[in-house]
Amino acid sequence: MTARLPLTGPLDLAATLDSGQAFRWRPQVPTSSGQGGGWWRGVLGSNAVRLRVPTRRDGERLYLEVESSPEPEDDLLPHLVRYLDLERDIDGVHHALAMHPYLQRAIASFSGLRILRQEPWECTVSFLLSPQSNIPRIRRNVEALAQAAGEPIETRDSPVYGFPSPEALADLGEARLRQLGLGFRAKAVAAVASKVATGELDLAALQSLPFSESEAALQALPGVGPKVAHCILAFSLDKGEGFPVDRWVRRGVLREFFQGRKTNDKVITAWARETFGPLSGYAQQLIFHWERSQALEERPLPGSRAFQGRTGPARAQSVERSSSKTRSITRLMMEMAWP
């Protein structure tokens, strides 16, 4: 099954799918002849899918291919539209945030950066894995969970697994979760899985609560502090006030908005909510991506795939200098690799 969806605004799949919101998307490696490039493979519900946004003059379109069988339910498209939040007026959001010169710079590089609306359970587990970890490792951990306890999904080539149900993860237990490489995070994953499996906790119900109540309910869970709670709020519960503060965001905010004075994260979070309101999550993503890309530019890590260019304006900027137009990283990379 394939589909084409019209886009009303920019969509940068690389920035949106591959830098820390979700952890199961992989770029499809193009063949030596350049075929298959630009696709992103992932799992949506019980479907193995791939996505692509080719460059077009008459406006961009999103291409979807379902690589698994049986055929998907006919509500897959609505689910995809919701997952990528395609009906969001991202240009409008960015226009509002561009009143801050610092954010304006980030917007110029990441105009198609979206905030996903993930399934709350998968998002919660993903960020339970995040404390004192790093994105490559979180990816590995999530994938290990899927292989150990997820439902197999039929495809033509390598087997794919759905994200495990709460019951499946609860049944694994802390010890087995540790064996999968989660480290001390296994305890929290096991505990929260058990709460959801027994019905004691209804994550989806938190979406209909006011922001602060939803935030408090999440932080009452084992392994969920301010950072993890705000990731869940922003990336799966559609709470625009969510503003996860990690070291990148902290660095950017203190330098650009606090004159370099250091303050604690509680102050930063409150400031963000006052300053950006329901657009806090978008501001946070722009800051996060911009700060990481800047760090990458300073220390390019020769040979790293990041340097060879999917995300990060380090490489893109050098191209943009010779091209007067500002384009999204995704489109830029496509033009470079597949003219």
Partner DNA sequence: AGCCAGGAGAATG
Partner DNA sequence: CATTCTCATGGC
Among 34, 159, 225, 277, binds DNA (CB under 7 A): 225
Q: Considering CB under 7 A, how many residues would be counted as binding DNA?
A: 39
Give the residue, chosen from 48, 53, 224, 286, that forms a contact with DNA under the rule CB under 7 A: 224
Sites for DNA among residues 159-178 (CB under 7 A) = 178
Rounded to the nearest whole angstrom, what is the least distance from the CB of residue 262 to DNA in the complex? 9
Least gap, CB of 280 to DNA (angstroms): 12
From the list 32-40, 87-95, 100-108, 133-141, the region that binds DNA by CB under 7 A is 133-141
Closest distance of CB 337 from DNA, Å: 22
Strand order in the sheet with 152-155: 68-69, 152-155, 160-161
According to DSSP, the β-strands at 47-52 and 40-44 are antiparallel
Residue 139 has, within 13 A of its CA and on its CB side, a CA count of: 14
What is the rounded CA–CA span in Å between residue 21 and residue 231?
A: 8
Neighbours of 80 (CB within 10 A): 20
* Of the residues 49, 228, 272, 316, which one makes contact with DNA according to CB under 7 A: 228
**Does position 92 bind DNA by CB under 7 A?**
no
Q: 159 and 152 in contact (C-beta within 8 Å)?
A: yes
**Taking CB under 7 A as the rule, which mask of x and - marks residues 258-287 in contact with DNA?**
------x-------------------xx--
Residue 213's φ and ψ, nearest 5 degrees, are: -70, -40
Q: Is 15 in the site for DNA (CB under 7 A)?
A: no
Q: How far is the CB of 21 from DNA (least distance, A)?
A: 5
- Classified as helix, coil or strand, 64 is strand
How far, CA to CA in Å, does 46 sit from each of 33, 80, 94, 286?
31, 13, 33, 31
Sign of CA dihedral 9, 13, 18, 24: positive
Is 26 a residue that touches DNA (CB under 7 A)?
Answer: no
> How far is 81 from 290, CA to CA, in rounded Å?
26
Question: Per rule CB under 7 A, is residue 136 in the interface with DNA?
Answer: yes
Residue 135: CB minimum distance to DNA, A:
5
Per CB under 7 A, the list member of 103, 288, 328, 329 interacting with DNA is 288
8-state DSSP, 77: H
Indicate which single residue of 188, 193, 283, 286 sits in contact with DNA (rule: CB under 7 A).
188
Provide the binding-site residues for DNA, judged by CB under 7 A.
19-21, 130-137, 140, 178, 181, 183-184, 188, 219, 221-229, 231, 244, 246-249, 264, 284-285, 288, 301, 304
